[in-house]
Amino acid sequence: MQITVVGSGYVGLVAASCLAELGHQVVCVDNDDRKIAVLQAGQVPIHEEYLADLLARHGGKNIRFSTSLTDSARNAQAVFIAVGTPQGDEGDADLSYVESVAQELASAVNGFMVIVEKSTVPVFTHDWIRKIMHINGAPADSFEVASNPEFLREGTAVRDFLYPDRIVIGVDSERAAAILREIYRPLTDGSYYERPDHIPERLGAPRPVPLIQTSAKSAELIKHASNAFLAMKISFINAVANICEAVGADVRQVCEGIGSDERIGRRFLNPGIGYGGSCFPKDLSAFSAVAHECGYEFRLLDEVMRINEEQRVRFLRKVKKALWTLRGKKLAVLGLAFKGGTDDIRESPAIALIRMLLKEGCEIRAYDPAAMERAREVLGAERITYADSPYEAANKADALLLLTDWPEFAKLDLRRLRTILAYPIVVDGRNLFDPATMAEHGFQYYSVGRPDVQVPARKAAVDP
């Protein structure tokens, strides 16, 4: 099919690349001339596993890039809107970018097209898109508006798209449903997985992929409700971890016990410094605002957000507990992205904590495998430097802080780390290490929801 994807960010670029992988002819549109020039040159502007492979495979063939929405959408059978919906001043979603796209699309209708909400939007957005199209001259029978929410995790977004738990299409006509079913047919009939060059499988993905057809309103709510529920699991286990700390229990054992219940499940029961990223914080606020507009006070969401914010403050207290005073302390920070596997720093708990530490008078030496340049743009260089490796960051530091769950951080050489730190103090906000192992290597170790490891701190005897 001829498909246009509007937006070349984390959702739009992944969606465009994966739709090209499924055999469709895709044009990815963005009004950022610089970003489109980068993509046309064959470069990848974001860090995402397998994305570079898909762009190299389909660039100039199944996928093209453009700055002209009108030209790109004129012959499209489906237009996916994947533009930003940032949080507004009142916590609601700012839909001005979606509105601008709808206004421009009205003049590009040529035949029949399905306009597909891929961005996370509040319920009733499809109605507004339809109204905007009408008042800007698009004939009522020339288009349909559908909702096709994304359930992509940054760092694994390509495989999440190609090996989804489910595909949700929110449609109000069979004509629109037929087009969306055809778009996703290589996944729902399994033909994509028979190709010898398919992207490696995501473990646990269902076969065949279930396609859930709903109304557009229901699909819009499914996305917000899904993110709210996952954020709730994170805040819940963080609250439980805080109780574990108070009574001397081990949250790992608690997670194993409750996560073994198939009604609960183990996923997202990972205590730490809280959730972040471009979705959960924004989407919870937007969902709460939608509920308020509907006359319902969704107080559970308010508490989920409160616990998440409190978790960062509690972690700062752990650092103070480990070091007593913070002014003038030299701290190694591993992790800047909001999670491992991505370079996205939007609403990153790590960035928020670094700002808090700088305000306390600390000096920071930071390292992240992918997010250094993005972090430098927002943190600057005053009392913060950026290392080329975890060991360079840790060299002669008063303590090491782990703020992002990159898998490579869990594989650090603890013997070497113990040698190069000025003091063997590790404050782990992601529970990447085993407390017994840290004790064996002579560390004072502080984590989330587990008893502290107290080993007498001694200065390193050998310089690196």
- The token pair at 136 is 């800007």
Taking the mean position of all CA atoms in its chain, how far away is CA 134? Answer: 34
State how far the Cα of 333 lies from the Cα of 364, in Å rounded to an integer: 7
Beta strand pairing call for 78-81 and 384-386: unpaired
Per-residue pLDDT at 87: 86
Per-residue pLDDT at 462: 42
ω before 186 within 30° of 0 (cis)? no
Per-residue pLDDT at 463: 44
- The token pair at 378 is 């927002």
State how far the Cα of 370 lies from the Cα of 267, in Å rounded to an integer: 24
Per-residue pLDDT at 53: 96
Angle of CA points 284, 285, 291, to nearest 5°: 90
- As beta bridge partners, residue 145 has 115
Largest distance between two CA atoms of the chain: 78
The sign of the torsion formed by the CA atoms of 252, 253, 256, 261 equals negative
Q: Which residue out of 18, 28, 255, 279 is catalytically annotated? A: 279
List domains and CATH numbers for the chain: 2-214 (3.40.50.720), 223-307 (1.10.1040.10)
- As beta bridge partners, residue 1 has none
State how far the Cα of 314 lies from the Cα of 208, in Å rounded to an integer: 44
Per-residue pLDDT at 332: 98
- The token pair at 464 is 């690196």
Q: How does pLDDT run along the chain (464 residues), one tens digit per residue?
A: 999 999 999 999 999 999 999 999 999 999 999 999 999 999 999 999 999 999 999 998 999 999 999 999 999 999 999 999 988 877 888 999 999 999 999 999 988 999 999 988 999 999 999 999 999 999 999 999 999 999 999 999 999 999 999 999 999 999 999 999 999 999 999 999 999 999 999 888 888 899 999 999 999 999 999 999 999 999 999 999 999 999 999 999 999 999 999 999 999 999 999 999 988 999 999 999 999 999 999 999 999 999 999 999 999 999 999 999 999 999 999 999 999 999 999 999 999 999 999 999 999 999 999 999 999 999 999 999 999 999 999 999 999 999 999 999 999 999 999 999 999 999 999 999 999 999 999 999 999 999 999 976 554 444 44
* Coil/strand/helix, residue 456: coil
Q: Known catalytic residue: 279?
A: yes
Residue bearing tokens 């030209």: 71
